[in-house]
Chains A and B, each alone.
Chain A
Amino acid sequence: MATLRPDPATAETRHRADARLWRAAAMCAIALWSAYMLVPSEHVALRGLVLYPIADAAAAVAIVYGVRRYRPRAPVAWLLIAGGIASFTVADFIVGVLHVQGARSFPSAADVFYLAAYPLFAAGLLVASRVGFREGKRGTFIDAGIVTISATLFALLLITSRYIEDPDLSLAAAIFASAYPLADVLLVAVAVRFLLSTSWRPLALRLLTAGFALILVGDVVYSVQGLYTSDGDQRLADALLLGGVLTLGLAGLHPSMTALTAESGEVTLPRYSVRRVVSLYLISLVPVVVLAIQALTGNAGYVWITLLALVAVAALVVTRFVDLVGQTLLAAEREAALSRFGAELLFRAGREELYAAARSAVDELVPGGNAQVVEAGPDPADERGLFTARVVVDSKVVASVLADERLTAEQGTRDALVTVARGLSLALERDGLLAAEQATAESLAEQNAQLRELDRMKDQLVSSVSHELRTPLTSIGGYAEMLLDPEFGALNEEQQMFVEVIDRNSRRLNRIIDDILFVSRVDAGRLSLERSWVDLAEVARASVDSARPRAEHGGVTIELTAPDDLPPLWADQTRLIQMFDNVISNAVKFTPAGGTIEVTLSGTEDLVIAQIADTGIGIPQGEIDRLFERFFRASTVGAVDGTGLGLSIVKSIVEVHDGRIGVTSTEDAGTTITVELPVHAPAAHRSDSEPAQ
């Protein structure tokens, strides 16, 4: 609701002013009432012409002022009540004048004004009932009917009948005298209807109730005293009536007076309670009691009317209980519809299905297409005269449950529709989350597939490029070799040197291609091992021997130390040769003239350890961790050629053999690479022992 919120400080000040005003008014009311009661009966003019009319008028003015001050919805309800009090004021003034003149005629003009007040009160309460409340219309009418019939019977048999039967009263007097109890009955009926459909909590409403109660009791006392006593002192009735009017005035001046015509949402609607059922039951017994009294006193008059009232009340009570049972059944149906809906929400997924579930639930709750689920944001124009429950997802209204106002008078139906809207909100929100999650998972899976495909294409590319390179390389190396072959004619010394460079580089290029292919095979997981029992000492010796010429050429000594009892390894011999070749050729490359390379093998029961220690240029401390990375070349290698793949290949070979590799190095002092290989193959690799076909 888009009401302007007053400034809290201002509201606080205003609140205090309201309270002060009401307290002052209450003091005045008590003072006026006390003054009237304390002034002796002899001061007829003071009491009848001044105090009583002033008190009446003050009450009416208080209500009008309250309406202006608190601005209730439908102020006409309060204004009608004020009108009733004004009518009382005029009547009381006329009575005062008559008393001063000493005339005590009945009926008089005053009675017209008195009687006019009751329809005004009743109208005020009716307006309040119509404006403020919707629930249980039928039920409150029936309850009010039961009370009204009982009260009418009571008034008819105990009061009105006396007037009608009194031979001393003129017809006019009898009619007017009878009219009072009947007017009271009218007020009782409306008041009961009102009270049954409202909350008693606000003080103004309690005061209003109390005021009308005082007036009604005052009327009864007045009538009874008039009938059964002869002294004519109406002090008690006057006190009650004056108190009632003043109480009404105070009700209208209390800040909570707006509750009389407040929207249903702001007032807690009464539910059907045990207390209410019991009271209705007791009230419905009134005709029976009256019948019993008549039977006991032997007064058989009006027995038909009493019986008629009894039947009417019984019919109303039955109707009420039938309604109650119907409501209970309806509530059970609603519960069933809601739990079905709850289950549907759990098992259905996707926007369309959830909406369909909500639609069928709404149709069950308000059948005949009088309620629907409308997708789209709020459109106030469409919702006029409709009950609306919002479907909210992520703080946005995405749909509305709309229903005919008249068909959703019952709070239970409304609550159920709100429950459907909330259930749908939650389900849609959950569904959105699931969909987002699924979309993410799908896009991740798609990306993964793309990445795998790209990776496969990369492997494929590397593989075919490498193969393609081998063909031209065959020509380059092959023709260079033939140029160097004296069989095809001698070259001069320079030509000889040039062709040697071509030959050497074509071999080098071939090695690089081998390395790249090896790495791509490791990446693709296609590095397969051909295992056999391998004597590592023999493998190391072969590598050392083949590296020796190059090492000696560079002035580097290379030595192998291996024990005789080294256990054999279950391994791929070709790969281990490749491993030693790579490590040793690396050592040779980076060891300056005069240095040494020591290859040392040792073994335990489970492990064979190979150490390749050189006295080379070493690796800077900060780069050791990166030594086995692909294409990594230490900053100290300078112009020495290499792909940077050699040691990463070594590491891959060690790892497929389930071994470990480590390195220690000191710059300008040397590097030691240690490889540990397990003697027995782990069970997972036993299958490799199957001989190749």
Chain B
Amino acid sequence: MSADASSPQPVILIADDDEDILQLIAFRLERSGYTVVRARDGAEALQVARERVPDLAVLDVRMPKMDGYEVTRALRADEATARMPIILLTAKVQDGDVQRGFDAGADDYVRKPFSPQELRSRVQAILGRR
């Protein structure tokens, strides 16, 4: 999976139903040189992910229509997006929830409230590995 030829910057899908958080992540990642595409619910996130095939997806766990786990499973099930790195944002802190995220196929998770810098570091770490 590589970046689109027309955009040299890595494309990151961010999905969260909270507009302020969406904006927060967008500011941080765009400032760090990523191209950001946004989605405001799970279904939109899945659609955008299939259309744009981003280099990485940051998905909130709790979203309308489809939750982060479902989107993750759907992306993993699709050949085109099966290897897309996914970071889940979770307000839940129980071990079971984290486990559920990994079971669904997420690569990493970030607990809310998170530091934007920390999120950027995780993104960089995952994309840098490739």
Query: Which residues of A are at the interface with B, using a C-beta cutoff of 8 A?
Result: 467-468, 470-479, 481-482, 485, 487-488, 506, 510, 514, 517, 521, 526, 528, 530, 692-693
Contacts and interface: CB of A to CB of B under 8 A. Distances in A.
Interface in B55-103: 91-95, 99
A522 to B, nearest CB: 13
A506 B28 contact: no
B95 A528 contact: yes
Given A488-B31, A506-B113, A471 B18 contact: yes
26 contacts: A467-B91, A467-B92, A468-B91, A470-B91, A471-B21, A471-B91, A472-B20, A474-B18, A474-B24, A474-B112, A477-B113, A478-B28, A478-B114, A478-B115, A478-B116, A481-B116, A482-B27, A482-B28, A487-B31, A488-B31, A514-B93, A521-B94, A526-B94, A530-B95, A692-B95, A692-B99
A692 B99 CA distance: 9
Most buried by A among B24, B28, B91, B92: B91
B95 A510 contact: no
A483 to B, nearest CB: 11
B28 A471 contact: no
Interface in B1-45: 18, 20-21, 24, 27-28, 31
Contacts of A488: 27, 31
A474 B21 contact: yes
B24 A482 contact: yes
A66 B117 CA distance: 122
Contacts of A528: 95
Contacts of B112: 470-471, 473-474
Most buried by B among A472, A474, A693: A474
Contacts of A692: 95, 99
Given A475-B24, A506-B113, A510-B113, A517 B18 contact: no
A514 B117 CA distance: 21
Nearest to A487: B31
B21 A478 contact: yes
Nearest to A528: B95
Nearest to B92: A467
A521 B96 CA distance: 13
Interface residues of B, number: 19
Interface of A, secondary structure class, is helix
Given A479-B20, A481-B116, 14 more contacts: A467-B92, A470-B91, A470-B113, A471-B91, A472-B20, A475-B20, A476-B113, A477-B115, A478-B115, A481-B115, A514-B93, A521-B94, A526-B94, A692-B95
A277 B112 CA distance: 106
B113 A474 contact: yes
A474 B24 CA distance: 9
Contacts of A517: 93
Contact of A474 (B31, B92, B114): B114
B41 to A, nearest CB: 15
A476 B116 CA distance: 11
Most buried by B among A467, A468, A488, A510: A467
A621 B115 CA distance: 43
Contacts of B113: 470, 473-474, 476-478, 506, 510
Given A471-B91, A478-B21, A517-B93, A693 B99 contact: yes
Most buried by A among B94, B95, B112: B112
B21 to A, nearest CB: 6
Interface string B108-129: 0000111111000000000000
B100 to A, nearest CB: 11
Nearest to B18: A471
B70 to A, nearest CB: 18
Contacts of A470: 91, 112-113
Nearest to B115: A481
User: Top 10 closest A-B pairs, CB basis?
Assistant: A474-B113, A470-B91, A475-B20, A473-B113, A470-B112, A467-B91, A478-B24, A474-B112, A478-B116, A477-B113
A514 B20 CA distance: 22
A502 to B, nearest CB: 13
Contacts of B94: 521, 526
A476 B112 CA distance: 12
Contacts of A481: 115-117
Contacts of B20: 472, 475, 479
A510 B94 CA distance: 15
A475 B91 CA distance: 13
Contacts of B91: 467-468, 470-471
Contacts of B28: 478, 482
Contacts of B31: 487-488
A475 B18 contact: yes
B64 to A, nearest CB: 14
A478 B18 CA distance: 13
B112 to A, nearest CB: 4
Nearest to A485: B117
B77 to A, nearest CB: 21
A152 B68 CA distance: 120
A347 B87 CA distance: 69
A477 B117 CA distance: 11
Contacts of A471: 18, 21, 91, 112
B95 A482 contact: no
A529 to B, nearest CB: 10
A688 to B, nearest CB: 12
Contacts of A521: 94
A478 B112 CA distance: 10
A663 to B, nearest CB: 29
Contacts of A468: 91
Contacts of B114: 474, 478
A84 B112 CA distance: 120
A189 B115 CA distance: 122
B10 to A, nearest CB: 19
A488 B95 CA distance: 35
A528 B93 CA distance: 13
Nearest to A530: B95
Nearest to A513: B113
Contacts of A530: 95
A476 B114 CA distance: 10
Nearest to B19: A475
Given A470-B113, A481-B117, A482-B27, A475 B21 contact: yes
A468 to B, nearest CB: 8
Contacts of B116: 478, 481-482
Contacts of B95: 528, 530, 692
Nearest to A488: B31
A476 B24 CA distance: 10
Contacts of A487: 31
Contacts of A526: 94
Nearest to A510: B113
Contacts of B21: 471, 474-475, 478
Contacts of A510: 113
A571 to B, nearest CB: 16
Nearest to B117: A481
